[in-house]
């Protein structure tokens, strides 16, 4: 079997799934967009995984490439790349053509228009849609896909990589009093709310907690400076593991986060967590009061309340939350991702 993935920006979690897939099929071909300067990850590829740079191919070239590969199925990340769509149109009636989607249904005018036009803008190219979770499944249904053509679980963390870090919290004699944020420094991530809420709590009542932040982005140089807030910048996965081992609670205060694979990663790593209800993956990886707390998007007071509740828990309660997170995080793995792709979508 040969697979063709028409992808945007490669990520570590996607490559964990691809490397697992490469052990099950003969060839994996990936066309990718350029590396994101805000997330310049380096990757290693299995021998039967072939990478092509999107910028080297016109739409016509992509069709010729696909014909030369003769794939058994094509997966495309979304509908944004017109060249990718041209390939899928050529192959739709011959093989499974799968569209990945992480957009939540919000009922906006733009989304309603997309639903009205989907018979022209989406269905000529795809016969399957693979979405991240339940918030996206609603949108897929409204786009006109029947339930047999809708599949969930398109994103999966590199569970093996992160689950090995869970023991640092689950087996801790003294739970680490450090909040950690992992993500980009952009307005959509809500870091300004987190900084303000955290600093206000330090002013109102002295405590031992620190806030560690990992990532970079347009707002990195404007990040607030505080004795208890540490900024690491962008780090590769190996260095991230060292940081995670010293941290205790994951916080993601996003204003906009269609899914958020980092939540799956941090759950597998055994982190209690505090998430905005705008984070799509909370529907799968956060059980409120069991492995963390959910707060209302944009509500700093609600975020402060969640932070305070977490900070006042005993070490025993924090370890119980860490254990619950780990169990939830390992409930979906790259092996399961491959099984879903081959048995339920491709059906081979």
pLDDT tens per residue across span 97-148? 999 999 999 999 999 999 999 999 999 999 999 999 999 999 999 999 999 9
User: Tokens at residue 287, please?
Assistant: 């059980």
Cα radius of gyration rounded to whole Å, the chain: 21
- Three-state DSSP at 60 gives helix
Residue 40: the pLDDT is 67
- Residue 287 CA from chain centroid, whole number: 18
Map out the domains of the chain as residue ranges.
2-156+333-345, 159-329
Q: 236 pLDDT band (50/70/90 cuts)?
A: confident
- pLDDT tens digits for range 137-163: 999 999 999 999 999 999 999 999 999
Residue 258: the pLDDT is 96
Residue 308: the pLDDT is 97
Read off the pTM: 0.94
- pLDDT above 70 (res 62): yes
Domain at 159-329, CATH from 1.10.1040.10, 3.40.50.2000, 3.40.50.200, 3.40.50.450: 3.40.50.2000
Average pLDDT over the chain, rounded to whole? 95
Q: How far apart are CA 346 and CA 342, in angstroms?
A: 5
Residue 39: the pLDDT is 66
- pLDDT above 70 (res 37): no
**Bridge partners, 151 (sequence order):** 130
Q: Which CATH superfamily is domain 2-156+333-345 in?
A: Glycogen Phosphorylase B; (3.40.50.2000)
Least confident window among 34-38, 47-51, 164-168, 245-249:
34-38
Residue 121: the pLDDT is 95
> pLDDT > 90: what percent of the chain?
93
Report whether 73 contacts 98 (CB < 8 A).
yes
Cβ-based neighbour number of residue 200 at 10 Å: 14
Residue 38: the pLDDT is 63
- pLDDT tens digits for range 328-346: 999 999 999 999 999 999 9
Least confident window among 16-25, 110-119, 199-208:
199-208
């Amino acid at each position: 079997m040969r697979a063709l993935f028409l992808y945007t920006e490669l990520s570590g979690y996607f490559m964990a799934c691809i490397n697992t897939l490469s052990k099950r099929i003969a060839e994996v071909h990936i066309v990718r967009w350029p590396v994101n300067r805000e997330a310049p990850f380096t990757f290693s590829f299995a021998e039967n995984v072939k990478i092509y740079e999107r910028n080297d191919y016109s739409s016509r070239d992509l069709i010729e490439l696909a014909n030369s590969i003769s794939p058994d199925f094509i997966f495309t990340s979304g509908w944004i790349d017109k060249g990718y769509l041209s390939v899928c149109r050529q192959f739709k009636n011959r093989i499974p053509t799968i569209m990945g989607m992480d957009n939540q249904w919000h009922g906006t005018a733009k989304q309603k228009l997309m639903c009205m036009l989907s018979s022209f803008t989406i269905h000529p190219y795809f016969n399957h849609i693979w979405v991240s979770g339940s918030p996206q499944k609603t949108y897929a249904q409204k786009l006109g896909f029947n339930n047999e053509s809708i599949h969930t679980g398109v994103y999966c963390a590199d569970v093996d990589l992160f689950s090995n870090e869970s023991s640092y919290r689950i087996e801790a004699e003294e739970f680490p009093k450090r909040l950690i944020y992992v993500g980009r420094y952009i307005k959509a991530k809500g870091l300004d709310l987190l900084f303000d809420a955290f600093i206000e709590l330090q002013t109102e009542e002295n405590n031992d907690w620190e806030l560690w932040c990992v990532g970079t982005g347009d707002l990195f140089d404007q990040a607030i400076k505080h004795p208890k807030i540490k900024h690491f910048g962008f780090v590769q996965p190996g260095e991230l593991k060292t940081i995670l081992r010293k941290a205790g609670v994951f916080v993601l205060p996003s204003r906009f986060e269609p899914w958020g694979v980092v939540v799956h990663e941090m759950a597998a790593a055994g982190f209690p967590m505090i998430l905005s209800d705008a984070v799509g993956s909370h529907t799968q990886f956060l059980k409120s009061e069991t492995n963390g707390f959910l707060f209302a998007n944009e509500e700093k007071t609600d975020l402060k309340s969640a932070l305070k509740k977490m900070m006042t828990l005993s070490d025993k309660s924090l370890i119980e939350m860490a254990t619950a997170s780990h169990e939830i995080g390992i409930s979906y793995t790259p092996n399961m991702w491959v099984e879903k792709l081959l048995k339920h979508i491709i059906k081979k």
